[in-house]
Amino acid sequence: RFFPNVSSIPPGFVPNATAPAWDSFKKFAGCRAGENFDGLSKLKQYFHYFGYIPNSPSNFTDDFDDAFESALKTYQQNFNLNVTGELDQQTLNKLVQPRCGNADIVNGTTTMNSGKWMAFNSTSLFHTVGH
């Protein structure tokens, strides 16, 4: 599927109609913690693939659990989204975008924004003195 030049593509040309990967995630709009949503395990697998859920159980459940919420917040932080912990429209729009297959978080150490946040919170960058 190589197109040597955009101008060479005839108007109205439609390649083999295949639903883009991750399009099904759009149905999760409005999902909130503590609830169960059919197919949410696919989104957990997505987060696991890109390093946001480090431990892989044999089967992900469809529960919007704490691990998923934590992964979602880290993702929102990394992509400069509002950190709501909810599957809001802005987050879903980003999740379904095509992307590089390399993980954002590798072995918990390569972490984009969230790593800076963790460093900020876990090291003694600031010292306080009581007066």
Partner 1 sequence: YTFFPGNPHWPDSKRDLTYSFFPGNELTEEEKSVFARAFDRWSTVIPMTFTQTDSFTTADIRIGFFSGDHGDGEPFDGVLGTLAHAFSPPSGRLHLDLDENWVDSGDVSTSPILSAVDLESVAVHEIGHLLGLGHSSVEEAIMYPSIPSRTRKVELAQDDIDGIQQLYGKNPNYNGTSTSSIQERETSGADYVH
CB 51 within 8 A of CB 103: yes
Residue 34 binds partner 1 (CB under 8 A): no
Closest CA to 46 of 115, 103, 108, 119: 103
Return the range that interacts with partner 1 (CB under 8 A); candidates 56-64, 83-91, 102-110, 122-130: 102-110
Q: Does 82 bind partner 1 (CB under 8 A)?
A: no
Residues in the chain: 131
Which of 98, 122, 127, 131 lies at the binding interface for partner 1 (CB under 8 A)?
Answer: 98
CA-CA distance, 100 to 32, in Å (whole number)?
27
Nearer to partner 1, 4 or 130 (CB): 4
The two three-digit tokens of residue 43, written as one number: 């989104």
Query: Out of 38, 58, 101, 121, which residue is the one contacting partner 1 (CB under 8 A)?
Result: 101
Query: Does residue 99 interact with partner 1 by CB under 8 A?
Result: yes
**78 within 8 A of 112, measured Cβ to Cβ:** yes
Which one, 15 or 34, has the nearer CB to partner 1? Answer: 15
For residues 70, 65, 72, 51, the Cα torsion angle rounded to the nearest 10 degrees is 80
Q: Which of residues 109-128 bind partner 1 (CB under 8 A)?
A: 109-113, 115
Q: 3-state DSSP call for residue 113?
A: helix
Number of residues in contact with partner 1 under rule CB under 8 A: 39
Give the separation between CA 89 and CA 26, rounded to whole angstroms: 8
Q: Does 12 bind partner 1 (CB under 8 A)?
A: yes
* Interacting residue ranges for partner 1, rule: CB under 8 A: 1-7, 9-15, 18-22, 50, 78-80, 94, 97-102, 104, 106-107, 109-113, 115
